[in-house]
Amino acid sequence: MNYRKTRAEINTAALKHNLRWVRAASGSASILGVVKADGYGHGIKPVCDALEHEVDAFAVGFTDEALALRAACPASKHSVLILEGCQTAEELKLCVDKNFSTVVHCLQQLELLEQASLKQPLDIWLKIDTGMHRLGIATDQADLFVKRLEASSNVASVTLMSHLANADTGLPLNHFQRQQYEAIKRTYPEHRRSLHNSAALLNPQLRGEPESKDWVRSGLLMYGVNPSELTEIQKELIPVMSLKAPIIAIHDLKKGDSVGYGSQWTAAADTRIATVAIGYADGYPRQCMNGTPTFVNGQRASLVGRVSMDMITIDITHIDDVAMGDDVELWGENIDVREVARCADTISWHLLTGTSVRVPRVVKG
């Protein structure tokens, strides 16, 4: 039981709706549900339970996250891809025992795999750097790596993948990375591959038509948030997380009164404010500016004053019948998380994954 009513409501029906939108946009491709960072902050168990029959496999960041998924959802039959790959021989043995597949993105990981003593071979995803320069082998090393992987008794299959640096925008690097990827497809037509993430599905430079050998890596889209700056489809999605908190105080300020630490906001006229039980310790960003929107009793209300560790204050002067205990939505179905992110000079990924563990996830739908 939680006495504090601050919570993140997780709409699993919305999750399924969004994933089906992704599926329709992905042609005949397989869908990899990306659930790293505790299901993008939504909770690994409700997310994976809802998506078990909607995706073709799951992906996480690293081995500990893969183990957490198996512990939370022991009945899941899906393979789990470890996107950062394995760093030790022990992790490779866990991959065999737990039905994990793993990325190989460097020579050290290739050698570790070749030298491992495994009970059965693993499905390997070879990451090729087409221009992001974060993880992956150089394109001119691909042939050597593919041959060595295919020669290893520890390898069951090889999927070729790359990662886009600017899928959410129209920067020229997109064209170069797409050209590199198309060359890889032509060189290895028999292999499965993966380039498209959520934003790439919406980018005219990259969209194409995913084929049956492709894997689409579905991240932010399935959580109901449009990742693209180029294609606006937010109305077709349903936000999965609604972050809500109760009003715990109401005060009437006189013109000239200030509120909060640093007295950074001063009332220009007589003003009624509400104090809301959420703060930066809950993941609501401290850098949110005055005017950041919230939603209460069917209307938008602006943040006033600095975000504290446990509380914020909002201007409710224009809203009738606001009472103690009323819910305030910080983001969700009525307040676009992208708008809040812009007010905090950050991104929606940051807000969702940064929602604190002290905020209970309440599953709806």
- Please give the positions annotated as active site: 36, 261
Cα separation, 280 vs 283, in Å, equals 5
DSSP assignments along 284-340, one per residue? --TTPPTT-EEEETTEEEEE-S---SS-EEEE-TT-TT--TT-EEEEESSSS-HHHH
CB contact at 8 A, 308 and 288: no
- Which residues are 245's β-sheet partners? 328
Checking phi first, is residue 23 left (phi over 0); if not, alpha (psi -120 to 50) or beta?
Answer: alpha
Burial of 333 (0-12, 13-18, 19+ CB in 10 A): middle
10 Å Cβ neighbour count for 90?
A: 11
10 Å Cβ neighbour count for 132?
A: 15
Q: Is 134 annotated as a binding residue?
A: yes
CA angle at 234 for the pair 230 and 235, rounded to the nearest 5° = 130
Which amino acid appears at position 31 of this protein? I
CB contact at 8 A, 159 and 215: yes
CB contact at 8 A, 324 and 338: no
Cα separation, 351 vs 284, in Å, equals 7
Query: Which residues are documented as binding site for substrate?
Result: 134, 309
Query: Which residues are documented as binding site?
Result: 134, 309
